Amino acid sequence: MPDGDSSEALRRRPGRPSLSNEELLDKALDLFVEKGFAGTSIDAICAAAGMAKRTVYARYGDKEALFKAALDRAIADWIVPPAALRAQESEDFEATLLRIGTLLVENVLGPAGLRLLRLTNAESVTMPEIALENVRLGTEPTLHYLADLFRRHLGGPNGDFPEAEDAAQAFLSLVVGGPASNAAWGMRLDPSHVERHVRYSVHLFLHGALDRAPREGPGELRRLLREAEEGLQLARQRVEQAGRLVRE
């Protein structure tokens, strides 16, 4: 018979270590992405995590609470902190925007971004609050940073730029929105295509479509001809006026 000390040691022998909250949420995320909210059961999550149901219910009251916690975990994995965006800044504003745009697009097309896109697109119809949560935790900090960036570079001496928030939304939609939408539909984007998209979109944002158009294209030629014709008509009118004055 074992003595008291050895019996106590046997009682204290550790079993399988319990997963951390982060590991549990990662397991739950994998299942929610694969099978959707409705198709994922607490039993399946517990089996994947090797965890007792009572432990999961003790941490999260029900499946919906677990799902929202997993969503917050997915957003935290995906978001680019404003400090990381600020680290891309330089004296060259367009180069700054190119680096920021590239970072944001690469992030949304990375594993964490694609996972979040799939999850929110699949569930936001029946649970619209998860799209709002995505905006609140993920998109709004980026918009606030961009608006501040535009005030500093495009505002007056006092940083007065009333359209800063609109400009931030336009930049994010133009530069990041297209690749994100394509990825959400399952399209695989070639890195060279993504690079061209970011470069063109940043230039378009800063300079506009007309500034990028060929200066001697057909539209420009028509404009020059129209101006020349108007100038010729004006010259004829002045010659006629001068002739009348001479005859008088």
Model confidence at 121: pLDDT above 80: no
Task: Give 48's Cβ-side CA count (13 Å radius).
Answer: 17
- Each domain of the chain, given as residue ranges in start order, spans 13-73, 79-212, 216-243
Whole-model pTM over 0.85: no
Residues 229-237, mean pLDDT to the nearest whole number: 62
Q: In the CATH scheme, what architecture does the domain 79-212 have?
A: Orthogonal Bundle (1.10)
pLDDT digits over 37-87, tens only? 889 999 999 998 888 889 899 999 899 899 989 888 888 888 899 999 999
Cβ 151 vs Cβ 164: under 8 Å: yes
CA-to-CA distance for 232 and 234, rounded, in angstroms?
A: 5
Q: How confident is the model at residue 1 (pLDDT cuts 50, 70, 90)?
A: very low
Amino acid of residue 212: R
Give first-to-last CA distance, the chain, whole Å.
Answer: 139
- One fold for both 13-73 and 79-212? no
Q: In the CATH scheme, what architecture does the domain 13-73 have?
A: Orthogonal Bundle (1.10)
CA-to-CA distance for 228 and 219, rounded, in angstroms?
A: 14
Q: Which of 2-6, 21-25, 42-46, 118-122 has the highest mean pLDDT?
A: 42-46
pLDDT digits over 153-168, tens only? 888 777 778 889 999 9
Please state the separation of Cα 65 from the chain's center in Å.
25
Q: What is the DSSP string of 168-231?
A: HHHHIIIIIIHHHHHHHTTPPPPHHHHHHHHHHHHHHHHHHHHHHS-TTSHHHHHHHHHHHHHH
CA-to-CA distance for 26 and 15, rounded, in angstroms?
A: 22
Instruction: Give residue for tokens 């699949």.
Output: 122
Residues 197-210, mean pLDDT to the nearest whole number: 84
Q: Which has the minimum average pLDDT: 9-13, 157-161, 195-199, 239-243?
A: 9-13
